[in-house]
Amino acid sequence: MANTKRYWSGLDELHETEAFKTIQEQEFPESKSVDEFLSDDQLESTHTGRRDFLKFMGFSLTAATLAACETPVVKSIPYTNKPEEVTPGVANHYASTYYDGQDYVNVLVKTREGRPIFIKSNTQTGVGRVNARVNASVMSLYDGARVTGPLMDGSETSWGVVDEKVGQAMAASGRKVLLTNTVMSPSLLRAITNSGLEHVQFDSIDYGAFRKASELDFGVNTFPSYRFDQASAVVSIGADFLGTFGDSVYYAENWAKTRNPEQGSMSRLHAFESNMSLTGSNADYRTMVKPSEQGKVATALLKAITGEGQAGELSEGVQAAVAKAAKDLKSAGERGLVVAGANDLNLQRVVNAINAALGCVGTTINFDGTKLLQGDNASVNKLVQDMNKGEVTTLIIADCNPVYHLPNAAAFVEGLSKVKTSVSTSLFGDETASLCSIVAPTHHWLESWGDLQIDDYRIDLVQPTISPLHNTRNWGESLTVWSGNPVDWYTFLRQTHSAGYTAASMYTDADWNKAVHNGFVGLEKGEDVVPTFNSNGVADAVSALNGKTGGSFELALYQKTTMGAGQHAANPMLQETPDPLTKVTWDNYVTMAHADVDAMGLNGFIGQEKPASVVKVTVNGSSMELPVFPMPGQAPGTIGVALGYGRGANGENIGKAAFQTGENGSFLTDEAGNLVPVGQNAFPWVSEQNGLHDYQQLNVEVAATGGTYPLACTQIQNTFMGRDSIVKETDFMSYFNEREVAKGEASWNRVVKLAVHEDVNGDGTINAQDAKPTEAFDLWHEHAVENVGHRWGMTIDLTTCTGCSACVTACHIENNVPVVGKDEVRRHRDMHWMRIDRFFASDYSLERGEAEGEGVIASYRKMEDAAANPQTVHMPMMCQHCNHAPCETVCPVAATTHSNEGLNQMTYNRCIGTRYCANNCPYKVRRFNWFNYPGYKKFANFNPAQDSLMRMVLNPDVTVRSRGVMEKCSMCVQRLQAGKLEAKKAGAPLEDGSVVTACAEACPTHAISFGDLNDTGSKARAISENNRAYHALEEIGVKPNIFYMTKVRNVEPNQA
């Protein structure tokens, strides 16, 4: 029977209106006929006829063609007197040390033609690994907003004038104070002592309670040294030690050392926290608690482990989690470790009591006098009071930004105006420097000599990698000048390390040069003394913690892994690196549990056209309006707000990327004409008591405003919706039981088989059991890459990948990946070659749907929602370099092809921008240049390639792409080519590990291994043959050269 259904193209057609009928009769509706057009009187008066137009066109075309044939004259200017170690085109690496008051790490600085362009870990002689912040910090050297010379009262002056003025102030009577962050340089400390200034130290993020607790309980006023590599059970109470807490650059690598299931054992991590932190997302067991309950978790742990004290009141679920954590800690004994993040003296004392009871002091935690984080806010408070009393005549501020970071900044600002001579040594005219009468800019750390000492084992050296770009001077040298004994800073440094100092290995020139080459010298240190625990006061601390209660909403302020405490606000690369958990760029916001979002009637799904709802948050009477990001894993009844945003709120010139730009690329301004900073400053919400800063507020008001605000989020989908071939995971026992099973056979990593229409198993019938692995299918001719020549491949261990995003920034700096700004990221036009997909687990499954009588579609839909407290997977995703690449077959101009080394090559100069390849890529890793990012005005205010100074950071070995071409991960082909050349020159086979991609090099946890899969001895090959290795989306049979390793969680069976 014929189909009698009618389909309408619209209601007009259905109702057959008159207008519709008229239009229907004309096949080509014309609003104006040709005659009408030609009879237009005005047509005569127009000057450009059709023929003229064609002539112009023809002329322009010819002219443009001819102009293109012209060979432009390019100048080539050699050195006049070439430095011996510089060869144009060859990179040099220099050992140095990065310290910004928060991160302390030994680095190697890569320079090209004298320009630092890349920072990586000094793995040979250093400790700690470069994170995303340190990696991207090379850009700050070239920031056009840097102060270019000494300033007095805002106008340029000479060093002579400044020196005279400050010298007089130093010689005059009165109280003269130097305010710095924690100074870890022996030479700076010596210069400070010589200058006779009163020295006050202040950290942007306060850890005073840790040191106070150490002093009270162990008699050592120090920040604890955590040794996560020694721990087999770790309990973190709100401490994001993988991301931003303490010496995180050191902790992450150490923690990952204990997370290798092939070793036969894994450490276990319990996290109790309110915001979903990087650490929490990597925890085996994560429990949501409110800030007011964190203390109670500690007291409950103490009670469970020692039987002492009184357990805090907690919900049943949390109690069970605490009991489990206590059980693990007890069985770990001295290999257990409890670490709490809150700067709360009582909490830290209880944690000390637990650690002491476990007997882990001396193994996983020690109090051996690390010099990190010595800030003393009691002294800062006293200083502010004295400044307001007018007692301080001279204040020199170095390496810190109190006006931004202090909660009582207003009092500080007022006091500063009463100081007769205020000097800032800041690199930028930041919040503090812009209020000082004199700015005496110091060198950037990449331009400066220096020394640093983190503990008694070693002294790390800082060496200049470029001549100072501006008329600046190391502030240590400035101190020597102002105190009347001017010494060149390098000479001063050498004096510090001359005879009499403990490091004998730096006295002679040869020893010194060796130390500079290595970046450090080791020191002799006496026996470690394990301090004894003094339990006085634990009972008081317990009752204080148990007495904490919170209001309807509690606030936990946190730092983003990408931004830290705000020192990198003007770094466009970091601003555009997505937060590892929320995947939001260019903003801070309120994170709120889905339950609360729904209860308040706010937007629960943020997309390109779905802006976030705005709420007004009031803390102790101070309010801000912030967008709400609905965050799985956020404890209900709590909100989180990131610190480190809202820099330059009064229009301070701290760098262009710190300010918001509109859709046309120009800066946004507020009513007063000031630039609008990216995000908002939450430091005023930090409270202060007894000289300790508290980053948790137990009673805040949150009210919907009805407004909306667009957030630029790079990942909308929260779960992988049951596609188990993307992420494979298992629990440790299941892994352990099948650890010897052949690859592809284990229950947690079974090879994907597709049913075929032939009798594979030979049972006489053809049915669903007749299946072949995807390896068996070849849709088209295979590239002969296996076993011949090189076959570059990478393995990524999802077990140790923490999602820290160091690989992301490393990749983007290495490969000149453009920064596109918030507006374009919001349109999903980010250019990230490497992204980290963050998947939350869903409570729902097909099985559950079936049991509940839901249909398959409905079940899948429910699987899109993450659980309230989900398990998390971080999955780095970049071009998989498929040997059966779907992108290659659809390119009409063969711009993307396969190399016989297994690389999927992208040839920019061939690409015509059809974007077929991106559409055909199952991994969605190809990026299209929608604009000319290095030239178009929309990107002028944040794209590094558009800044005449900051473009010096671009890697000269990698093309800067132009508009209209596709780009993607090249597997750092420039490094591969360079590595092969070295091997050829050496006349020896390429050594495994001598060539490494930027991401693998940057990975602090060694989750990424890179190598030649055809080299039977390579590490990558060995890992790819491990039974945990699998291909993402294996069933589509594209045969990638990237292997993922099944994630193993150290949880009870069936909880993974």
Partner 1 sequence: MRKAKFMMASTGFKASMTFSKTAIVACLLLFTSHLTAGIWDEGEIEAGQALFNANCASCHKVTNEVLAAPGLAGIADRWGSSEELLIQWIQNPQGAAESGDPYIKSLVDRYVPTYGWMTAQAVSADDIKNIMAYVQNPPDVAQVADSGSDCITVDELPIEESSDDSGMWFTMLLVLFLIVAMAAAGVNRSLSNASREREGEALLADLPYSQRAKNWAWDNRVVVSLIGVFFVAYGAVLGYQGLMRVGVVEGYKPDQPIKFIHSVHVCENEVDCKYCHHSAYESKHAGIPSTNVCMNCHKAVKKGRRYGETEIGKIYEAIGFDPESGTYIDGEGKNGYSNPQDSFDGEPIRWNKVHNLPDHVYFSHQQHVVVGGLQCQNCHGDVETYTVGRVANVDDINQLVDKYPGLIELSKPTLTMGWCIECHNKAEIDLASSGYYEEIHGRLKENLRGNEELRKYMEDDKITVKELGGWECAKCHY
Binding residues for partner 1 (CB under 8 A): 68-69, 71-82, 84, 87-90, 782, 784, 786-790, 895, 897, 899-901, 903, 905-910, 957-960, 970, 973-974, 977, 980-981, 983-990, 1014
Specify the residue, 34 or 68, whose C-beta has the smaller distance to partner 1: 68
Q: How far is the CB of 159 from partner 1 (least distance, A)?
A: 18
Q: How far is the CB of 885 from partner 1 (least distance, A)?
A: 13
Specify the residue, 26 or 81, whose C-beta has the smaller distance to partner 1: 81
Q: How far is the CB of 64 from partner 1 (least distance, A)?
A: 13
Q: Determine the Cα–Cα distance for residues 99 and 371; give it in Å rounded to an integer.
A: 12
β-bridge pairing 966-967 and 927-928: antiparallel
Are 364 and 257 contacting, i.e. CB atoms less than 8 angstroms apart?
Answer: no
Closest CA to 968 of 1054, 1034, 1044, 907: 907
Q: How far is the CB of 84 from partner 1 (least distance, A)?
A: 6
In three-state form (DSSP H/G/I as H, E/B as E, the rest C), the secondary structure along 214-233 is HHHHHCCCCEEEECHHHCCE
Q: How far is the CB of 962 from partner 1 (least distance, A)?
A: 9
DSSP per residue, 257-275:
HT--GGGT---EEEEEESS
Ramachandran angles phi, psi of 453, nearest 5° = -135, 115
Q: Determine the Cα–Cα distance for residues 523 and 677; give it in Å rounded to an integer.
A: 45
Q: Where are the beta strands (DSSP E) in 770-866?
A: 771-773, 792-797, 835-840
**Token couple for 510:** 């040869």
Specify the residue, 21 or 984, whose C-beta has the smaller distance to partner 1: 984
Q: Indicate left, alpha or beta for 20 from its phi (over 0: left) and psi (-120 to 50: alpha).
A: alpha
Q: Determine the Cα–Cα distance for residues 619 and 617; give it in Å rounded to an integer.
A: 7
Specify the residue, 739 or 980, whose C-beta has the smaller distance to partner 1: 980
β-bridge pairing 638-642 and 155-156: unpaired
Q: How far is the CB of 657 from partner 1 (least distance, A)?
A: 25
Q: How far is the CB of 932 from partner 1 (least distance, A)?
A: 14
Q: How far is the CB of 888 from partner 1 (least distance, A)?
A: 11
Q: How far is the CB of 841 from partner 1 (least distance, A)?
A: 38
Q: How far is the CB of 517 from partner 1 (least distance, A)?
A: 19
Specify the residue, 647 or 961, whose C-beta has the smaller distance to partner 1: 961
Specify the residue, 324 or 910, whose C-beta has the smaller distance to partner 1: 910
Q: How far is the CB of 916 from partner 1 (least distance, A)?
A: 17
Specify the residue, 257 or 910, whose C-beta has the smaller distance to partner 1: 910
The dihedral sign for the CA sequence 514, 519, 521, 522: negative
Taking the alpha carbons at both ends of the chain, their separation in whole angstroms is 54
Q: Where are the beta strands (DSSP E) in 742-844?
A: 753-755, 771-773, 792-797, 835-840
Q: How far is the CB of 1012 from partner 1 (least distance, A)?
A: 10
Q: How far is the CB of 815 from partner 1 (least distance, A)?
A: 9
Q: How far is the CB of 984 from partner 1 (least distance, A)?
A: 4
In three-state form (DSSP H/G/I as H, E/B as E, the rest C), the secondary structure along 455-475 is ECCEEEEECCCCCCCCCCCCH
Specify the residue, 690 or 977, whose C-beta has the smaller distance to partner 1: 977
> Does an H or E element contain 398, and which?
strand 392-398
Closest CA to 350 of 391, 302, 284, 291: 302
Q: How far is the CB of 126 from partner 1 (least distance, A)?
A: 28
Q: Determine the Cα–Cα distance for residues 393 and 805; give it in Å rounded to an integer.
A: 45
Q: Determine the Cα–Cα distance for residues 782 and 898; give it in Å rounded to an integer.
A: 11
CA angle at residue 424 from 419 to 425, to 5 degrees? 155
Closest CA to 656 of 948, 898, 851, 458: 948
Specify the residue, 950 or 971, whose C-beta has the smaller distance to partner 1: 971
**Token couple for 552:** 């309807």
Q: Determine the Cα–Cα distance for residues 644 and 504; give it in Å rounded to an integer.
A: 41
Q: How far is the CB of 197 from partner 1 (least distance, A)?
A: 34
Specify the residue, 404 or 792, whose C-beta has the smaller distance to partner 1: 792
Specify the residue, 574 or 965, whose C-beta has the smaller distance to partner 1: 965
Q: How far is the CB of 954 from partner 1 (least distance, A)?
A: 11
State how far Cα 226 lies from the chain centre: 22
DSSP per residue, 877-944:
E-----TT-HHHHH-TT--EEE-TTS-EEE-GGG-----HHHHH-TT---EE--S-TTT-GGGTTT-G
Specify the residue, 39 or 80, whose C-beta has the smaller distance to partner 1: 80
> Does an H or E element contain 451, and which?
strand 450-455
Specify the residue, 388 or 962, whose C-beta has the smaller distance to partner 1: 962
Write the CA distances from 111 to 87, 274, 535, integer angstroms. Answer: 11, 43, 53
**Token couple for 127:** 């400790």
Q: How far is the CB of 742 from partner 1 (least distance, A)?
A: 23
Closest CA to 249 of 128, 372, 339, 341: 128
Q: Determine the Cα–Cα distance for residues 280 and 294; give it in Å rounded to an integer.
A: 14
> Does an H or E element contain 387, and which?
helix 377-389
Specify the residue, 908 or 916, whose C-beta has the smaller distance to partner 1: 908
Specify the residue, 487 or 958, whose C-beta has the smaller distance to partner 1: 958
Specify the residue, 442 or 899, whose C-beta has the smaller distance to partner 1: 899
At which residue do the structure tokens 């009513």 appear? 671
Are 270 and 282 contacting, i.e. CB atoms less than 8 angstroms apart?
Answer: no
At which residue do the structure tokens 């009210």 appear? 703
Q: Determine the Cα–Cα distance for residues 675 and 669; give it in Å rounded to an integer.
A: 5
Specify the residue, 599 or 981, whose C-beta has the smaller distance to partner 1: 981
Specify the residue, 569 or 895, whose C-beta has the smaller distance to partner 1: 895
Q: Would you give the DSSP letter of residue 843?
A: S
